[in-house]
Structure 1
Amino acid sequence: MTLTLNIQGHILRPDSGEAYTAALRRNSDLSVQPAKLIVQPAVYDDIPRVLAYALAQTPPLEIAVKGGGAHSSTWASSDGGLVIDLSKLNRVTLAEDKQSVTVQGGALWGDVYEVTAKAGVDVVGSPLWFVGVGGFTLGGGYGPLSGEHGLAIDNLLSAKVVLADGRIVQTSKEEEPDLFWAIRGGGGQFGIVVEFVFKTHPYAGPFGSGIIAYPGTELENVLKVIQEWKTTQTPADRLTLNFSRPAPHFKPSIVILPGVLHDTDGARSKTVLAPFRDGTAKPVLDKVGPAPDMLTVSHAADAAMAAAPKRLIIRGTFYSDMFPALLTAVWERWVAFTEGNEDVRGSAVLWDLTSPAKLAEVGVEETALKLREPHYWMAVQGRSTTDASVGAIREFTASIVQFVREKNAELSGRDLGWFVNLSQGNEKPEDVFGANLQRLRQIKAKYDPKQVWRKGFVIEPLAE
């Protein structure tokens, strides 16, 4: 097999033992599928050879690409096909002038933050260290620094892509501009991005990070506080609002996870978070302190993630504002679902509240991301401790995001559609890509007419 492929990387098969088993693992146990082959390229030139081999089989092998493996679908896995596992291509290199950072396609955001933290610079990335740079970026890239600097795709300077025909091309606004447009929000349908070059920014820390938690009985008051807080929110202030049942009592709780940039000596956190402590809503837990860098922030949820059930389905969508009627209705549905079945009480709902003004400065035609009006995103994490309840979490996550989309449209007058990175693949393409779908189909026909890339959110090439 090695002689057939003639590559420098590793080839794993079902008889490869623990190495094969380890390479199959994903963030969700429900994302694991038994691949016929897993190839871990060591250099970019390995990938065209792997593609040629897979496509030469009869029938051709299904090709999946794994970056971080954090998505809860099977997009990065294959049942009986070939997985190109980019984990060995994880080098991160900061430019000498510290104005940009080059990141290989198999890197995790933790790999990036290790480099940027040492150098005293920051980059728009994921709030969680284990998320892959590739998938996160190709879907848009909403991160803790997005309030000040926009999305990851808005900070992407160039990329190196392995195309379906085996060519390796450089792409930017000047080189292969159609391809560069498509990979900024169009998902992984146009090639394997093996290298990203991101713009860096001056150090944004220290970061105010931690947790403020309330009993579920305080929901109405917490929503009042948030509505007031939003009137003074700056691009340097963000919140994630969670509906969850923390151990050991598993009572319905409202959890605020703050992210305060430039929090020197904790002074900004004290001011920014004062409304959550002034008595309107009464927290039962208040533990917020300074974190020195994004690497530390990205590891804040490690303990909770380690204890969470691994049978996981995540779906999400966009919303226009923190409408109390919307959040209260979702709260009631979530409480009822997690109350009635102990297997699924690890399920949670989260609402991101990052200032959207910066991302709205980019025109909808400038990247493949369809949504540029001010908006936020939310996600439903369906978790089950048993196989028997997997169907229930699938149904629950799908029903909640559908409800959020419809209720938000009713309250705002705008149907915002779906978020590609929080989709499962059975959504309508026009609801994911909007007015940009036609151009994406044209670019798909140009770069992947034979549909080599059929994992992820599939875009059909435009017929001639």
Structure 2
Amino acid sequence: MENLSIQGQVLTPQSGDAYTTALRRNSDLSVLPAKYIVQPVLYEDIPPVIACATSQSPPLEIAVKGGGAHSATWASSNGGVVIDLSKLNKVTLAADKQSITVQGGAYWGDVYEVTSKEKVDVVGSPLWFVGVGGYTLGGGHGPLSGEHGLAVDNLLSATIVLADGRIVKTSSDEEPDLFWAIRGGGGQFGIAVDFTFKVYPYAGPIGAGMMAYPGSEIAQVLKIITDWKKTQTPTERFTMNFSRPAPHFKPTIVILPTVLHDQDGSRTQKILAPFREGAVKPVLDKVGLVPDMLTVSHAADAAIAAAPRSLVIRGTLISDFFPELLLGVYEKWLAFTESNEDVRASAVLFDLTSPHKLAEIGSADTPLKNREPNYWMAVQGRSKTDASVEAAREFTADIVSFVREKNAELSGQDLGWWLTLCQGNEKPEDVFGTNLPRLRELKTKYDPKKVWSKGFVIEPLV
């Protein structure tokens, strides 16, 4: 591998700090010691790496790192090869500002640096450090999804390096089967080295910030939310967190709002009035106008920097903000974080973005089976010690199982699992539903030998 004629860099454990730096991920639990880390600078650097790895006996495992934000080991390999796309991070806005092309190693922060400067917007992650590649291949829920749908609904084309070394362009007109598969099928069909997305008019100024309530007021807060949802429009959303912020670590309900297109702050004041004038008042209220998604995406930087780096995340979907479900999750979270101070940084998130735009796309139009209105939730199990990691893993698995079962009971719909926040041991039919047979056919067409065996694996038919 070290002797490949490529322009990129090949790192090994003997490469010192460069190798150690390249191993880092958002969660320390995601780090595995690769035999080689290859950092291509050209798309043409990648096919020789694939050929070399697959020619070994046995073949070397290949993992692909875009942003490295996933808490599983999908972007790492124990003794294999990691194709690290971090040098392929260019962002190019079209001259007419109708589309933007983003290389597969870019973070959403790289994209927002460009869109902020040019006063345009694109459907992307609420967090700057999330990689564009993994986020998009899993579907892509974001703060602008209420208005414009998911990231995959706004994908115009992509460039993919296939398992056989070919570099192909895919869109609705070119390699349309491949284009269908990558819009929610994960990284199972090739390495996405660039994406071209639709661009929209500037969404700012944006009302954003934080409102916090004592955990003991959970029932009253949920009543406010139930009423607020009745008048919600696609331009406003929030994330609700159950967390224990420092320095007192008291159980807290945190509301993180996003109000788009607010020129003078008056819309934000009106929209958030129920959260300030209801039966319970916030104990912390820091909401104001920020200029753009770049600023929004950095809002959690301080909290994330202070959090334990042993992190496992799971998530799933819910049909509605059922109070019974939310109260059940709160009680489970409260008991867990009170049981051991090593895990009290664990948190639960529920996102309330208007779901109607995503429902305009048919369930067979992309691999994402859940196209009826729904919302996403996530569980962050964080541990300060190695001894508590397994407890954090069990907690996240217990919560998402409870949510799935309770949602099915209350809605009559089993939404299965959400690919983006799977860990890899879920049943494929629970993730893709009736789209699984077509995905398996396309896996057979594009990767019959399972060169792409990291992530949520789709089995070929042969």
Shorter-chain TM band: over 0.9
Aligned 1:275-286 pairs, distance under 5 A: 275-286=274-285
Moved over 6 A (4+): none
> What displacement does 1:370 show?
1.0
**Contact between 2:224 and 2:278, CA under 8 Å: does it hold in 1?**
no
Q: Could you report, residue by residue, the CA deviation over 1:77-98 in whole angstroms, capped at 9, with x for unpaired residues?
A: 0000000000000000000000
1:295 equivalent in structure 2: 294
Aligned 1:162-177 pairs, distance under 5 A: 162-177=161-176
2:399 equivalent in structure 1: 400
When normalised by structure 1's length, the TM-score is 0.99
1:224 equivalent in structure 2: 223
Q: Could you report, residue by residue, the CA deviation over 1:332-357 in whole angstroms, capped at 9, with x for unpaired residues?
A: 00000000100000000000000000
> Does 2:374 align with 1:389?
no
Q: Say how many residue pairs are matched.
A: 462
Question: What one-letter code is carried by the residue in structure 1 that aligns with 2:210?
Answer: I
Structure 1 unaligned regions, length at least 5: none
Q: Could you report, residue by residue, the CA deviation over 1:352-392 in whole angstroms, capped at 9, with x for unpaired residues?
A: 00000000001111111111000000000000000000000
Aligned 1:62-461 pairs, distance under 5 A: 62-461=61-460
**Contact between 2:370 and 2:415, CA under 8 Å: does it hold in 1?**
yes
Distance 1:112 1:353 in 2: 24
User: Does the residue aligned with 1:5 lie in a helix, a strand or coil?
Assistant: coil
> Does 2:4 align with 1:29?
no
Distance 1:56 1:306 in 2: 41
> What displacement does 1:260 show?
0.4
**Contact between 1:126 and 1:143, CA under 8 Å: does it hold in 2?**
yes
Distance 1:286 1:400 in 2: 29
Distance 1:125 1:279 in 2: 32
Distance 2:263 2:7 in 1: 47
Q: Could you report, residue by residue, the CA deviation over 1:100-141 in whole angstroms, capped at 9, with x for unpaired residues?
A: 000000000000000011111000000000000000000000
2:14 equivalent in structure 1: 15
2:56 equivalent in structure 1: 57
Q: Could you report, residue by residue, the CA deviation over 1:44-82 in whole angstroms, capped at 9, with x for unpaired residues?
A: 000001001111112110000000000000000000000
**Contact between 1:218 and 1:282, CA under 8 Å: does it hold in 2?**
no
Over the matched positions of the two proteins, sequence identity in percent amounts to: 75
Distance 1:279 1:454 in 2: 51
User: Does the residue aligned with 1:273 lie in a helix, a strand or coil?
Assistant: helix
Question: What one-letter code is carried by the residue in structure 2 that aligns with 1:275?
Answer: P
User: Does the residue aligned with 1:404 lie in a helix, a strand or coil?
Assistant: helix
User: Does the residue aligned with 1:248 lie in a helix, a strand or coil?
Assistant: coil
User: Does the residue aligned with 1:179 lie in a helix, a strand or coil?
Assistant: helix
**Contact between 1:214 and 1:255, CA under 8 Å: does it hold in 2?**
yes
Structure 2 unaligned regions, length at least 5: none
Question: What one-letter code is carried by the residue in structure 1 that aligns with 2:427?
Answer: K
User: Does the residue aligned with 2:398 lie in a helix, a strand or coil?
Assistant: helix
**Contact between 2:210 and 2:286, CA under 8 Å: does it hold in 1?**
yes
Distance 1:443 1:462 in 2: 9
User: Does the residue aligned with 1:159 lie in a helix, a strand or coil?
Assistant: strand
Q: Could you report, residue by residue, the CA deviation over 1:310-349 in whole angstroms, capped at 9, with x for unpaired residues?
A: 0000000000111110000110000000001000000000
* Cα RMSD, aligned residues only: 0.6
> What displacement does 1:279 show?
3.1
User: Does the residue aligned with 1:264 lie in a helix, a strand or coil?
Assistant: coil
Distance 2:359 2:198 in 1: 19
When normalised by structure 2's length, the TM-score is 0.99
